[in-house]
């Protein structure tokens, strides 16, 4: 019974890998382009990028702006700012 479970797990992983690299190209949500994308005024003056994370076509940047932590979420295909989140402290 345990060998059947291992075999099913292996087949599931193999299927997932084949799905990701199979026909239809990338499933990442990014539009293929050789051009550079420039998103104006995404980072405020004096801001510093602390970290970044890509999820499909959304880019989340964690910024330090004068001691205040902000997270901005951008759509990298359209260049549109989707959301700005300012993180505060609780007294």
Is residue 15's pLDDT more than 70?
yes
Give the model confidence (pLDDT) of 29-43 as tens digits.
Answer: 555 666 777 777 888
For residue 74, how many other CB atoms are within 10 A of its CB?
Answer: 20
Domain boundaries, the chain: 2-87
Q: Which residue has the higher pLDDT, 27 or 79?
A: 79
Are 42 and 61 in contact, with CB atoms under 8 Å apart?
yes
Q: Tokens 């997932």 belong to which residue?
A: 16
- The model's confidence at residue 45, banded by pLDDT at 50, 70 and 90, is confident
């Amino acid at each position: 019974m345990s060998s059947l479970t291992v075999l099913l797990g292996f087949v599931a992983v193999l299927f997932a890998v084949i799905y990701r690299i199979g026909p239809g190209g990338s499933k990442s949500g990014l539009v293929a382009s050789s051009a550079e994308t420039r998103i104006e005024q995404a980072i405020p003056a004096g801001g510093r990028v602390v970290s970044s994370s890509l999820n499909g076509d959304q880019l989340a940047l964690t910024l330090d702006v004068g001691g205040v932590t902000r997270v901005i979420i951008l759509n990298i295909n359209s260049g549109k700012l989707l959301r700005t989140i300012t993180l505060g402290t609780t007294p």
